[in-house]
Structures are given as structure tokens and as C-alpha cells.
Structure 1
Amino acid sequence: MLIFHPAGGNTTAYEALVKRLPADVPVIGFDRVEGSIEERVEQYMPKLREIQPHGPYVLVGWSLGGALAYGAAQTLLAAGEEVAFVGLIDVVRPSEDVPDTPENKRARLERWKSFAVKTYGLDENIPVPMDRLVEADDDEQFAIIMEMMAMSDAKIPGGIIEHQRTSFIDNRVLSNIDPTPYDGKVVLYRADKMHDGAIELEPQWAQIDEDGRWGEVVDDLEILHIGGDHLGIVDEPHIAKVAADLGERMKGLKKQ
């Protein structure tokens, strides 16, 4: 089983899952690299093929990790390899896309500013530079956030800043995914809702279709309702349900 890191984190997020899987199920994790989904998958592919030269592949991911698993599956299928299934652990898109207009960019930075004021003591009187936001991409938007923090007396450890950077960039990548049709089996493990923190920063996450919009591109889609929220689904007791299903599917592959 090949697993991919979630937004803003690494594959240690799957510790509870790995502990629940049968001992004879090998699990290989792929941690963070920079770039778009396609660019990251391209970077992963040489090591992935070195570890497992041929299928059937099982690719699993939570959050952004699921988008990476889906992208890797597309690449492997295009190369003529067999993919048994893709497991998406609450990998969803909001019901409605939010265009990246200057007004929406400003609203996004205002929300992040409010988060920083509440969490890190950022000076609430620091202005948001609207003129620079008009042309800013996601990396530049976060650079503006960092400049705003530098103008404040708030002392934020470098590790926390890096975590906020990767979280911001990865979640923007996840919000903007535009998956192409996939001719294979996909299993979607659904939480009941997005977690409150994500909705606070990006309100569109409050409305998510049951299929997370994967039905738009996947015909062979199976949805399993796990419970909890987006953050809690990878922890007990919810992850036990995910692990039990994955374990049974892996057992079925060995019998073939």
C-alpha cells in the first residue's frame, strides 16, 4: 500500500491507520515535495516504481494525500500498469468553486489575518495590501501574510511559520484540484463534515456534496460513511473502520 502526505503535514499522520492494518500489509509513505499535483507526482514516480515496479497498486491518501494518490493512479494507468483501487480518506471538494478574484483574495487574507491576530497576537491594525494581491499567486499571497507578521511585534517560531506556509500552499492546491476522468475503482471514506478551523479560513468548505464531487469524474465510485470530521477521521475510533475495510480489500487482492 502506498500512502501520500496530507496538506501541511507528513505521513506520520497515518500512524493510527498503520497500527490497525494487518501486520503483513506493507505500507510505504511519500512525504512532501513542492509543486502542483502533477509536478509532485512526477517527482514521486521514480522512487515509487523503484519500490514497486509493477501493479496491482493500492494508492491511499487523506486530504491532499488523496489527490496525490489519485494523480499517481492516473500516471500509472497511462503507463499500462494495473491499479487495484484508490482509497480517498475524506478527500473532497466544496460543492461550489470560488473564483480567485481580487475580492476573494482579499477576503481570504482578511480571514488569515484574523486567525493570526487571535492565534499569534498579530497587530490587527496592519493593512492588507490590496494592490499587490490583484496579481499575487498562492506563494505570493503567503509571502504577504509573512510580511504582515514581520510588521507586528508577534514572535512566531520558525517551525510554526513553516507549518503555516505548507498548510496554506497545500490547502490552496487541494482547493484548486480539477481531476480528470478516472477509469478505475475509487473508494471514498467520508467524514460527516469538514472541521471548524478549515471552514473559518475557507467558508466554502461548509458545503460538500456526499460524493465530494468525485462522481463527476469516477464511474466506479464506492462511498463508505465513517463519521467524525475531516481531522478526526484519521484518529480513533474512526480510523479503525477505514483500516478494517482496507485490510479486507488487501486480503482479497492476495487471494487473486
Structure 2
Amino acid sequence: MHPDQNFFEAGAHSLTALRVLTALGTAFPGRAPTIADLFNNQTVATLAAALSADAVGTPQVVHLSRTGTRPMLYCFPGLMVNTREYAPLVRRLGPDQPVTGFVCYSLTEARKSVVSVEDIAARYAETIRAECAGRPCTLLGWSWGGVLAYEAARMLGSDVDLTFVGMLDVCDIDVNFAVGALPRLSPEARSARQAQVALWLERSPMRADWEDLFRRMDEGLTAQFLAYVAASGPLPADGPGLGSKEFELWTFVDNTLLYRGYRAAAFDVPIRVWLAGESLARGLNHVDWSRYSRHVLSRDVIPGVTHREIVDSADFHASFAARLDAGRA
């Protein structure tokens, strides 16, 4: 690979990036770069320069587009994804639109100290406040990132001039893990599942992480997890590396626990909603933002795309660009 060739344009993806970071952390133990550093320095040459200058260690902020005179757009990620998913939208918006993204907390060391949705949102809000206090900006959140965008907006209050908060196919907690959706497990079935989990923990590389998570789960979530085990088949034991199936499952349950403890407060911020047509067809439980804000300005459906595809949809890009231009007219 040529030193000036873009790492991602050469075919790298998020999991490749995580493997590169593991190798770099071993080679540079005192100056271990983060995934945000890799996204901000996407060639061997620029990353080497940052390492040499000891200019690494940024945990969450990615500069998707540094140029442009328009107000900043901040992009919030969904679970277990990073900001690279927004790259096609950034290209569509053009060189006059500066864009900053945030790396999902579950891909950073910060996940070890996170105890609430508010913790995560506060870190994002702090960055936005420092850069945009008294000035206009727009927030966009995909999937559960929309909840973080909303909470960050609420924390920012009048400190910034929010054009709107964009909600990209934002769904509530999986119905199988919703508060009050208790499964029906007979005492025999529950005992069998508990025994299955106990055997799995004996060989799990993430045993300590799981045991800590189980201690934090209430009776309802524990019952739901056991029902999930009964329906999902063999539990993965390939953790704890980022990108492993076991780590993904642990992150999903941990994130569910965080969101079950979150209670959104009303805040009349302007909101625009985009929904994936296939998500509606499947009956996914989208968040009804009119319950929290009296200023839901639009609700656009992007036909023919799934929850994962909508962020890459040209139809969504065009719709978002038009709403962005209208809000700044």
C-alpha cells in the first residue's frame, strides 16, 4: 500500500481498522491511537506524522469534512457502527458543508466508564458547545444515535442555534427487551436456560464482563435475556475483541440496559424525521418524537430501503440536502 493511498478507499472497513489499531497499540504502547485518529488520518503518511508528533489519542471526534462556510453538521452513530457510514452523505452535501462525526462509544475505551445515556450525550454536547456556542448547527442521528442527538440537543438548550435535529430511522428498544414485556418461562425452562448460561460462562473469554452486566440487570431484563437465549441457539464465545459476535451481543444487552434507564424529557427542539420504507413494512417500533417536541417539522419516508440501507440511500441524501437548504434559506 502506497503511503499516500487512502486506507478506506483501498478497501479497508471498520473491522479492518480495529485490527490495525490493535497492531499499532502493540507497536506504540505509549501513544496508542484511537479509531477516531485513524478516521482523521486516513493514509499511512498522515497517520505516521500524527504518531511522530504524539498528536493521537482523540477518543470520539472525527472530521468528516473540514472545509466549508455553512454551519456545522454533527452526525451521531448507531450502535456498533462508526462515522464512516455517513461518508456518502458528506460527499452529496459538497465541499461547502463542514461535518463532524462521533465514534460510537462502544468502540472506544469510554465504554468502560459509561453508566447512562446522559453520560454519552454529555460528552458529545461538550464538543458541540465548545465549537458552536452562539452559532447555528444541525444534528443528525441514525438509529439509537437519534436518542443521543436528542439528549445532546436538550443539554445544549439555547447555547447553540439548532436548525433542526434529524432523526434517521430511530427505533425504540427491541420489543423483546421492552420494559414490561415479560416472557412466559416455566420454572423448568428457566432452570434449563440458567444452566445453559452457567456452562457458557465457564468457557466465555468475557466472563467477567458478563457477570458484571448480569449484576446490573433487574429481574425483568434477566428473564428477557433467558428467553432470548432459549430462542437464539448457541451463545457466542469468541470475545472479547471488537468485532466478535460475543462482544456484539454483550454490547447490545449493555446498551439495552442503558436505554431502559433513560427517560427523555420534553424539549421543543425542531425535529425532522426520515423513516426507512422497509422498517415501516416490518412494523418496527419507531420513536414518536411528537411525544417530546411540539416542533416535529416533517416526516419523510424513503421507500425500498432497510434500516441499515437508509444511511447510504441517494434518495435520503437528496431529501436531507433539500431540508438542510430550506432551513438555512
Percent identical among aligned pairs is 24
Residue 166 of structure 1: CA displacement?
2.7
Kindly tell me: are residues 208 and 254 of structure 1, through their superposed partners in 2, closer, same or farther at Cα, counting changes over 3 Å? closer
Are 2:262 and 1:187 aligned?
no
Q: Aligned runs of 1:123-138 on 2, under 5 Å?
A: 127-128=196-197, 136-137=216-217
Residue 229 of structure 1: CA displacement?
1.9
Kindly tell me: are residues 207 and 12 of structure 1, through their superposed partners in 2, closer, same or farther at Cα, counting changes over 3 Å? closer
Residue 153 of structure 1: CA displacement?
10
Contact preservation (8 Å) 1:76, 1:83: no
TM value normalised by structure 1: 0.67
Residue 13 of structure 1: CA displacement?
2.1
Q: Secondary structure at the match of 1:183?
A: coil
Contact preservation (8 Å) 2:162, 2:269: yes
Q: Secondary structure at the match of 1:184?
A: coil
Residue 40 of structure 1: CA displacement?
0.9
The residue identity in structure 1 corresponding to 2:250 is: R
Q: Secondary structure at the match of 1:219?
A: coil
Q: 2:165 is matched with which residue?
A: 86
Kindly tell me: are residues 243 and 39 of structure 1, through their superposed partners in 2, closer, same or farther at Cα, counting changes over 3 Å? same
Q: 1:224 is matched with which residue?
A: 300
Are 2:179 and 1:99 aligned?
yes
Contact preservation (8 Å) 1:2, 1:29: yes
TM value normalised by structure 2: 0.54
Kindly tell me: are residues 156 and 240 of structure 1, through their superposed partners in 2, closer, same or farther at Cα, counting changes over 3 Å? same
The residue identity in structure 1 corresponding to 2:285 is: I
Q: 1:120 is matched with which residue?
A: none
Q: 2: CA distance between counterparts of 1:61 and 1:28? A: 12
Kindly tell me: are residues 249 and 54 of structure 1, through their superposed partners in 2, closer, same or farther at Cα, counting changes over 3 Å? farther
Q: 1: CA distance between counterparts of 2:265 and 2:123? A: 20
Contact preservation (8 Å) 1:8, 1:170: no
Q: Name stretches of at least 5 consecutive residues in structure 2 with no aligned partner.
A: 1-72, 106-110, 199-210
Residue 174 of structure 1: CA displacement?
4.6
Q: Which has the larger radius of gyration?
A: 2
Kindly tell me: are residues 30 and 106 of structure 1, through their superposed partners in 2, closer, same or farther at Cα, counting changes over 3 Å? farther
Residue-by-residue CA offset, 1:46-95 (whole Å, 9 max, x unaligned): 32222323332200010111111111111112x44321100000013269
RMSD of aligned alpha carbons: 3.9
Contact preservation (8 Å) 2:129, 2:156: no
Greater relative CO (CA pairs within 8 A, separation 6+): 1
Q: 2: CA distance between counterparts of 1:249 and 1:75? A: 24
Residue 207 of structure 1: CA displacement?
4.8
Q: 1: CA distance between counterparts of 2:269 and 2:103? A: 25
Are 2:321 and 1:247 aligned?
yes
Q: 1:168 is matched with which residue?
A: 253
